[in-house]
Amino acid sequence: MIFHRLLPDGFKRDADGFVGLCSGVHNQPLVILLGGPSATWDSVEKIVFTKKLASLSVNCGHRPAGINPHLFPAYWTGYDNPVRFDQSVFLDPRTIKFCPSTRANELLRDGTTLLSECPSVVFFDPQKRASNGELFTLGPVIDTRDSMLQAVDIAVKLGYRDIYLHGADLYTPLSDEQVEFINRKLTETGANLPFELACMVNSSMEALSSIAHALTCKDTPPAEMSDDQKAACEDCLDELIASLSCLGSPDMYSMGNANTKLKDNLRSDYHYRVTSGRLIGARRNLANLGVRVSLLRGTTECRSRLDGYFPVVRLDEIADTEYHSSCEPDYQAVGMYRRVDGGIA
């Protein structure tokens, strides 16, 4: 059983009818709405209302700046506690929610409603995978502690084979002054490490950690550091981050910084680097499944850690009728039952 309903009394009901539900002779497109700062309300609105593309929202991907309360995605998923997100999506029966079963008895933001009490919620028991080659199989939904990979896996299991990632920046944005600060410190400490935004071989937290290590205990390998050295290194890291925060930071998400601390954001940059690498490493597995993953963007220029690994598609390049062809007037439902050639006089 991959999907199931889990009711408040603990009753478990099979929901594997969702597996392959959206597959067909023609590949159906799905847009995964992510919360990167490149995602704008204009593009999200166009995806849902103009292009009429099915959408799977991850966390707050359907709520970028310029919130429209009438917009709801076809699907929603998230890895974290539901209290972190707008509860309206959980209470809306039009949106099918896919959530880890470990969240079933957690409360929404109202403090009284359990996730298992919400309509249209489908649960799954996530399973960890050891290698990239095991991602996106026909087995249980993966558990990589990341909601984007979880969303891609759910989309594949639903039967979608043409998947677009919108707002998939997958890096923590920094100002030009902050990037210059990190590179200057790397040069001063003699650390031979490349660093730039959206770098696939280094993250901002890894760069700052290497600087802190070089300033406090350069001659000691990280694996041989004493507790005192680790504490000194951590203090130095905090000082570097404090200096970095004085230079100003761009918004981390499309809805703002979400009241997160810069240190947490920098840690997220490391997580994004690892996550990007796992998705890139699973490309062969996706190809074997017949799945095509593309980066969907509006008119604004942006960057992503996935650039160069997946094709970029502009929203305007997707024709309105590409997946939604209109019927000829003669075949409309009006008068259908009086058609002579249908065997009805």
Q: Is residue 76 within 8 Å of residue 98, measured between CB atoms?
A: yes
Helix (H, G, I), strand (E, B) or coil at 277: helix
Q: What is the pTM of this model?
A: 0.90
Q: Give the model's pLDDT for residue 331.
A: 56
Q: Which residue type, as a one-letter code, is found at position 264?
A: D
Using CA atoms, how far residue 130 sits from 98, 277, 323, in Å, is 23, 14, 36
CA distance 158 to 136: 12
Using CA atoms, how far residue 135 sits from 57, 181, 331, in Å, is 20, 37, 43
Give the residue, 129 or 145, on which the prediction is more confident. Answer: 145
| Structural Rg of the chain based on CA atoms | 23
Q: Which of 102-116, 174-188, 284-298, 316-330 has the lowest mean pLDDT?
A: 316-330
Q: Give the model's pLDDT for residue 193.
A: 77
Mean pLDDT of 301-330: 76
Give the residue, 71 or 68, on which the prediction is more confident. Answer: 71
What letter would DSSP give residue 303? Answer: -
Helix (H, G, I), strand (E, B) or coil at 110: coil
Q: Give the model's pLDDT for residue 255.
A: 77
Mean pLDDT of 5-13: 85
162-166 and 96-100 strand pairing: unpaired
Q: In whole numbers, what is the pLDDT of the chain averaged over residues?
A: 88
For residue 320, pLDDT beyond 60: no
CA distance 274 to 282: 12
For residue 114, pLDDT beyond 80: yes
For residue 87, pLDDT beyond 60: yes
The alpha carbon of 54 is separated from its chain's Cα centroid by a whole number of angstroms, namely: 16
Q: Give the model's pLDDT for residue 254.
A: 82
Mean pLDDT of 78-95: 93
Give the residue, 31 or 253, on which the prediction is more confident. Answer: 31
Tens-digit pLDDT profile for residues 194-225? 789 999 999 999 999 999 999 998 888 888 89
Q: Which residue type, as a one-letter code, is found at position 65?
A: A
Q: Give the model's pLDDT for residue 326.
A: 52
CA distance 211 to 233: 9
Tens-digit pLDDT profile for residues 219-247? 888 888 999 999 999 999 999 999 999 99
